[in-house]
Each structure stands twice: as C-alpha cells, then as structure tokens.
C-alpha cells in the first residue's frame, strides 16, 4: 500500500532567499510585429510567429527571433527586437533588409530534423511532415534559414507551402509587378510631368532613338527601317531596325524567310573609319546561303567608305553554348556559397578554376577583342552570326561596343547599350532567368556572364568607367525584382502583347505610353534614394573635360569628335568616311611607320593581329578611347563583390577595394567643394560683395560622392561599418561554421598542444 500522505521535504537551503521585484517579474506584453507592405496591391498570404532566423550552421546558436510572412510579392522576416540601424548597406525603397522577392527564390527546402526528412517544395505540392526548418536558396546567391522549433507546426507548414506556391506562378501576369504597376499608375496619375517620366536612357522603341544613334556614330550609309512594324516580319526583332541604305524594303521582306525566326542582318554600331558591326541569325536553308550572300554582303560592303571586305564570325562554332555556361555557373555558385569553406579552402582556387567559369569569361573577352581588331585594326565590317541571334550575339556585340566606344562606358550609355543589344534585340530574359520555373533546360546566366566580363575590363581600367561594381551588382539583383519591364519578357513583341492586355485589365487609357504604366529598371529612383545612388558614381572616372596637369599647368582634356586610339590600320589616319584630309605633319603615335621603341621591335613572322595588339599594349591606355583587356590568367579574377558578398567567412572587416573607394570619394568631394568655393568667391568679387562663401547652399545637396570629405575631427581610419562586402551585408545570411582559422593555424595550434603534452610527459 502506498501512503497518500505527502512526504516532508528534507532539503534545506543555506542561501538567503533571492529578493525579487514583483513588478519586474511580470512580463511585458510582446511587441506587435507588423509587416511593411507596399501600398500598391501587396497583401499578406500567410504568416507564422516565434520563428528564429539562423545566423550560423549550428542550430543551437542564437539567431534573430520574429515573424515570418509570405506576401504576394516577397518573403519577409520581421525581427521582434530589430538591431539598431546603422548605415552599413544599401537601403532598398521597396524591400527591407530581411526581404526576398518571390522571383528571387531558386529552391524552397523544408527539413524535419527529428525524422531526418527533407523535401524541395514546388507549386501545389503536399507536405506530409511538420517542418522544423525552412531553407531558402536565392538566385542572388543568398542562403536563408529559419527554425520553427517554437512555432506552431501547422502554421509553419502553411507558410512553407504558401512560399513554394507563390514562388512558382502559373503565368506571367500573375507576377506581382502587374498588380503593383497597375495600382501605382492610378495612384500617381497626377504626379507625372511628361510622357516618359524624365527618363534619360533611350529605349529604342521609336525611330527617333535609332536616328540619334546613327548620327552619333556617323553611320551615314545606314537607315532606320520600319518593315517590322506590328512585328509583321519577325516576332523577336524590334519594330524599328537599321539596315543598309542600298537595300530596299521589298528585298528585306523577300529574303527574311531564309533566316531563322526571320532575323535578317541588322546594324549595331559604326566605327569612325566606316566599318560596321552587324548581327544576324543563321540561314535556315543552307542551300540559300549563296543567294543571301549575294544580296546582303554587297549592301554592307557599299556602306563602307572604302568598300572594305565583310567578315562573318559564327559564334556557335567558337564559343561555349548556353548549357555549358549554366553548368559552370552552378558549379562556381556551389563552391562560393554552398560548400563549406573549412573543408574546401585548401583546394579552393583550383576548384574555382575547375568550374570553367573564368575560362568562359576569358573566351568571350578574347573573341570580342578579335572582333575589335577586325573593326579597328583591319578596317573591315563584321557580321556576328548565331543560330537564333538572341544569346551569344548579345554578349559579344555589347562587349565589342564597350571596348570601342567610350560612350557606352558612361552610366546612361551603358544602360542604352543593354537596352539596345539585349532588351530590344529579343534576349529571352523570361526563359533564361526562369522566372516562371517551368523549364530548367532554358535557364542560362548569359546576362550575368556579360556583367562579369564588364567587371573584368573595369577591374583593369577603373578610370574608364563612370559607374562602379556596386552598380553592376545592383543591376544583376534587379533581374529578380518583378516590378520592371526590362527583365520580364522574351521579346519586344511579347512585351507589347502582355502590356496591351495589362492596360485593358487595369483601365489604362488607350494610347498611353507603356513606359509610363510599366516602367523599365533604368529609373533608379524607384528603388534607391538619391543619396544611395551616389554609390554608382566612380570617383576615378576620367570623362570628357577631365582635368590633368602638364608641366605644372592644369589643362583640360577634351576628346575630339570621332577620335579613337591610333593603331595599325590599313588606311591613312586622315582618311575618314571616304574623304582624305590634309597630310599628317607627324607620324601617327604608336604606328609601326614611326620610330619604335627597342622593347617593341618587330617580331619575325608576326601576324597583323599580333602586331595590332602588341602596338596597342606598348602605349599607355587612353581611358576615353579603345580599351583592350589583358587576357592572361593572372589578369582575370573572381568577381568577389558579387560571388562572396553574402559569405560571412569571406568578409574582410575594414578591408577590400571599398577602403580605396572611401578615400578617393572623400578626396573628390573635397576637390568639388573647393571648386564650388572658388566659383562662389569669383562671383562675390565680381559683384563687389565682401561676404565669403560657405558650404551651405544648393551645392551641399548636390554632392556626387557617397562618402563626403572628412573634417579634422573625423578619425583617420575607415568607418566601422566598412567591409569588403559593402554596401551589402552578410549579416542575416547563413554562416556555415562558427570557428575561423586556416589549416596552418590549426596545425600550429595542434603543434602547441602536442609540444605541451610531450613536455609534461618528459618532465622529471
């Protein structure tokens, strides 16, 4: 029988009772956490409380606690106790620090630790277990992990299924951008001041944009043609194209049927020497090759002042295909983001090399440089040919123009280049970005490869570009924000059709400009404040009118119109557009006809192209002229800001290129302040005023640099928030290990332990 009488406690405490404050023991009610939603159509689909955002691979370590929310636009995590804000990252106007657009999600993975189960979720799938973790793999290379240990199991399951469902839209109009822009149009109807919102970047959807480009490049033997109006000829070409003057519209229509997708040869750019860059699709019927050559090649030849030959380059035969590029990108992403640094760091560089990504970057830069030689050095027109003229041609044509024309190295010029050679040329952004996640076989990082190639050239010639690598990275991120028309469609025709239906559904007046109700990405004020946009400005940029010092005297460098670097050419330097001017009084700088330096003497059996490149590299590069990148392996590098910005282990505190950018920005800002003071001082002297100018005034709000000039009170060291990942922050992204140290440091630590053990054992 068990006694029901309770036993008397025998434990006796010898510590005084803890004095507690009754008021303090009463827990304050939890803070109400509310999502920050966009006014134009964003709604909460599902949410779950008591979620922990993991900051390391160790689940036992502390993270951020808060609420996880799925809307029809993004996945949002709202910390219960957000850390104090500091200016350590770009502040996106439409996305918070812990927000992820649904189109940015690559994979949605649910995990149950207790049952050892893991599942990749797709649309309309069932989940048979209650998830304890959610891992989000993002297309911008972030990895985000949430734990549901304290959350309700059913709520956690519902929010996971909602994220998976809304990140796999069934059709393009279901992307949030269509709802957002429709409401934004009606909400801001009274605020628009002109038909294109003050956009400076040409869109090339009107003949006037092409006319200006023809005049800018001096392509007098080419004309704007509108035979594809309403996409009557080709469904993937723009409505307005540029063709040789000598070709009639009827000839173009009759011969278009012989090209893949009816993509006839179209003009891209003209060199001052008269040679043209042209792109085209392959000929569908090889038996018609001779017929096509007889019609188009003579017309392109006639457009050249010297009637030079035309060279065709088949990119499908000499460059990697889109599947190779996708495979290489997946491998390098895996090494940079997913693999454990602790396990792979001893062979990390060789692993990067084995992905072949940098090899492919080099291949595209090398082929583009060869096309530059043909246009600039050999004075011949070039036709870039690809099967469909919508992938490899976009990369090479853009790189060739970037190397040859300094206009495209300005911010507006670069944006017009992307608009002209990618968006309006019919690059399949919808398929290549896989926004609808329907066909992984069509996905390929062509545009990302192009941006990496641009960064390689920028890394070698930093003063030649008006924009920064921050701008390139932000541009790549914008591909995954479905609010702008630039990266959403496969062709101009598809864009026009969807936006026409969109305008009808949203009661937008007929005839309204599509740029007004569904704008492109080029208006950066939609995403960033004016202050944050100054991070796009390169303090080292040597633009038109840049000052230089010669013999102690400040002079202004002004590049004369149509003057490119003098290199070995087949025609005289004064021969331009078929008209010979006065004889040069001096031999051309860098010409083999002039006196050569002993270090650059002629090499026996040297080809003309080798002589061209040797001659160019023998001279200091003119930042406002032709640029040719060095392509030996030691000059190509991993684009760290893009590939490693979210990796905490790779983040260098107060280090990296940003430290130089910080000092240069301060120096440029100080120079511009002094210049402003001098102008004001000169004005006060002329007006007879005795008042000295101050820093306050309109100039203080128009400063171009993100980092302002420092005062004597400022510390000499960089700000504490500067890291090699700036202006991005790896905080809040998955860290794969909690201990730092290289294998050599571990070896030394082990050696010390071994030595101390041996000493103890041998101690008498």
Tell me if 648 is assigned to some domain.
Answer: yes
User: Is the sign of the CA dihedral 197, 198, 199, 203 positive or negative?
Assistant: positive
Domain range holding 59?
A: 44-168
Inside any domain, residue 363: yes
Q: Give the number of residues written for the chain.
A: 764
Residues 151 and 234 in one domain: no
Q: For residues 138 and 283, state if they share a domain.
A: no
Rounded-to-integer distance, Cα 736 and Cα 711, Å: 40
Examine the fold and report which residue of 488, 510, 536 is the final residue of a domain before the chain moves on. 536
What is the structure's pLDDT at 575? 31
Name, in order, each residue with C-beta under 8 angstroms of 378's C-beta and a sequence gap of 6 or more: 569, 570, 608, 609, 612
Cα 221 from chain centre: 35
Domain boundary among 486, 514, 536: 536
Q: How far is CA 634 from CA 48, 497, 629, 631, 638, in A?
A: 50, 48, 12, 8, 11
Question: Are 107 and 252 members of one domain?
Answer: no
| 408, 328: one domain | yes
149 within some domain = yes
> Residues 156, 211: one domain?
no
Q: Is the peptide bond before 56 cis (omega within 30 degrees of 0)?
A: no
Query: pLDDT (tens digit, 9 = 90+) per residue, 676-692?
Result: 889 888 877 766 655 54
515 and 434 both lie in a single domain: yes
Looking at residue 629, what is its pLDDT? 97
Q: Note whether 141 and 245 are same-domain residues.
A: no
pLDDT value at residue 351: 92
Quickly list DSSP for 535-577.
GGB-TT---TT-EEEETTEEEE--PPTT-------SS-TTEET
Listed in sequence order, the residues at least 6 apart from 97 whose beta carbon sits closer than 8 Å to its beta carbon are: 89, 729, 732
Q: How far apart are the first and last CA of the chain?
A: 64
Confirm whether 472 is domain-assigned.
yes
- Would 629 be classed as within a structural domain? no
- Number of domains composing the chain: 3
Phi, psi angles (nearest 5°) of residue 545:
80, 15
Q: What would the pLDDT profile of 390-407 be if each residue is shown by its tens digit?
A: 999 999 999 999 999 999
User: Are residues 353 and 495 located together in one domain of the fold?
Assistant: yes
CB atoms within 10 A of CB 9: 6
- Does residue 494 fall inside a structural domain? yes
CA atoms within 13 A on the CB side of 371: 33
The CATH number of residue 101's host domain is: 2.30.29.30
Helix, coil or strand: residue 117: strand
Report how far residue 646's alpha carbon sits from residue 368's, in angstroms, rounded to the nearest whole number.
31
> What would the two tokens of residue 205 be?
């959807």
Domain end, chosen from 536, 553, 580, is at 536
CA distance 340 to 334: 10
Assigned domain for 635 exists: no
Low-confidence stretches of the chain (pLDDT beneath 70): 1-34, 39, 56-61, 83-88, 190-198, 340-345, 544-604, 686-701, 712-716, 732, 734-764
Task: Give yes or no: residues 122 and 240 share one domain.
Answer: no
Residue 564 domain-assigned (yes or no): no
Nearest alpha-carbon partner for 167 in 128, 125, 197: 125
Q: Does 211 lie in the same domain as 132?
A: no
Nearest residue to 741 via CA among 342, 273, 364 = 342
Q: How many helices (H) and strands (E) does the chain have?
A: 23, 18
Three-state SS letters, 633-693: HHHCCCCHHHHCCCCHHHCCECCCHHHHHHHHHHHHHHHHHHHHHHHHHHHHHHHCCCCCC
- CB atoms < 10 A from the CB of 336, how many? 24
Sign of the torsion angle spanned by Cα atoms 648, 651, 652, 655: negative
- Are 63 and 119 contained in the same domain? yes
Rounded distance between C-alpha atoms, residue 99 and residue 480, angstroms: 12
pLDDT, position 88: 62
pLDDT computed for residue 463 by the predictor: 96
Quick one: 91 and 238 in the same domain?
Answer: no
Neighbours of 87 (CB within 10 A): 12
């Amino acid at each position: 029988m068990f006694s029901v009488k309770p036993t008397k406690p025998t434990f006796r405490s010898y510590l005084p009772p803890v004095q507690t404050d009754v008021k303090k023991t009463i827990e304050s009610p939890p803070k109400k956490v509310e999502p920050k939603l966009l006014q134009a159509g964003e709604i909460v689909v599902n949410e779950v409380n008591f979620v922990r955002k993991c900051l390391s691979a160790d689940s036992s370590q502390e993270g951020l606690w808060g609420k996880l929310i799925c809307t029809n636009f993004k996945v949002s995590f709202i910390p219960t106790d957000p850390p104090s804000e500091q200016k350590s990252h770009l502040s996106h106007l439409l996305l918070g620090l812990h927000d992820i657009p649904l189109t940015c999600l690559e994979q949605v993975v649910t995990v149950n630790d207790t049952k050892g189960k893991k599942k990749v979720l797709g649309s309309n799938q069932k989940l048979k277990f209650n998830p304890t973790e959610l891992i989000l793999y993002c297309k911008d290379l972030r990895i985000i992990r949430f734990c549901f240990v304290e959350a309700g199991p059913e709520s956690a399951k519902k929010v996971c299924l909602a994220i998976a469902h809304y990140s796999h839209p069934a059709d393009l109009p279901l992307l949030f951008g269509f709802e957002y822009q429709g409401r934004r149009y009606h909400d801001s109807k009274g605020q628009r001041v002109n038909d294109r919102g003050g956009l400076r970047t040409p869109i090339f959807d009107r003949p006037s944009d092409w006319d200006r480009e023809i005049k800018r490049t001096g392509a007098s033997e080419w004309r704007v043609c509108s035979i594809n109006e309403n996409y009557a000829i080709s469904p993937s070409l723009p409505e307005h194209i540029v063709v040789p003057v000598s070709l009639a519209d009827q000839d173009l229509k009759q011969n278009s049927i012989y090209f893949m997708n009816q993509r006839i040869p179209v003009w891209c750019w003209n060199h001052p020497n008269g040679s043209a860059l042209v792109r085209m699709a392959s000929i569908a019927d090889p038996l018609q090759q001779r017929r096509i050559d007889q019609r188009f090649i003579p017309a392109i030849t006639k457009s050249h002042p010297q009637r030079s030959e035309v060279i065709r380059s088949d990119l499908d035969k000499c460059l990697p295909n889109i599947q190779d590029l996708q495979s290489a990108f997946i491998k390098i992403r895996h090494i940079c983001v997913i693999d454990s640094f602790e396990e792979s760091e001893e062979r990390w560089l060789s692993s990067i090399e084995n992905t072949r990504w940098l090899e492919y970057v080099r291949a595209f830069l090398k082929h583009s440089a060869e096309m530059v030689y043909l246009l600039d050095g050999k004075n011949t027109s070039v036709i870039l040919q690809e099967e469909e003229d919508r992938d490899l041609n976009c990369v090479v044509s853009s790189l060739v123009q970037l190397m040859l024309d300094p206009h495209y190295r300005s911010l507006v010029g670069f944006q017009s280049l992307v608009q002209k050679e990618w968006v309006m040329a019919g690059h399949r952004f919808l398929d290549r970005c896989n926004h609808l996640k329907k066909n992984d076989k069509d996905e390929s990082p062509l545009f990302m490869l192009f941006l990496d190639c641009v960064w390689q050239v920028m890394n070698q010639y930093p003063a030649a570009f008006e924009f920064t690598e921050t701008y390139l990275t932000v541009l790549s991120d914008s591909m995954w924000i479905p609010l702008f028309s630039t990266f959403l469609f496969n062709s101009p025709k598809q864009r026009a059709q969807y936006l026409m239906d969109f305008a009808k559904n949203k009661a937008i007046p007929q005839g309204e400009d599509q740029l007004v109700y569904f704008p492109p990405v080029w208006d950066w004020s939609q995403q960033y404040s004016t202050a944050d946009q100054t991070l796009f400005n390169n303090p080292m940029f040597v633009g038109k009118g840049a000052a230089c010092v010669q013999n102690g005297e400040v002079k202004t460098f002004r590049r004369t119109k149509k003057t490119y670097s003098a290199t070995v050419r087949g025609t005289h330097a004064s021969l331009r557009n078929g008209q010979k001017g006065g004889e040069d009084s001096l031999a051309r700088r860098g010409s083999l006809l002039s006196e050569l330096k002993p270090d650059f003497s002629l090499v026996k059996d040297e080809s003309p192209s080798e002589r061209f490149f040797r001659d160019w590299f023998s001279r200091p590069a003119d930042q406002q002229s032709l640029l040719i990148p060095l392509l030996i392996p030691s000059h190509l590098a991993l684009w760290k800001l893009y590939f490693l910005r979210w990796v905490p282990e790779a983040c260098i505190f107060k280090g990296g290129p940003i430290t130089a950018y910080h000092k240069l920005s301060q120096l440029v800002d100080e120079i511009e302040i002094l210049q402003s003071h001098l102008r004001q001082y000169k004005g006060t002297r002329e007006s007879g005023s005795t008042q000295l100018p101050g820093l306050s005034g309109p100039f203080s709000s128009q400063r171009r640099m993100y980092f302002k000039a420092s005062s004597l009170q400022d510390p000499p060291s960089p700000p504490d928030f500067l890291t090699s990942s700036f202006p991005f922050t790896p905080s809040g992204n998955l860290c794969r290990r909690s201990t730092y140290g290289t294998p050599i440091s571990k070896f030394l630590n082990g050696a010390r332990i071994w030595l101390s053990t041996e000493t103890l054992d041998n101690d008498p």
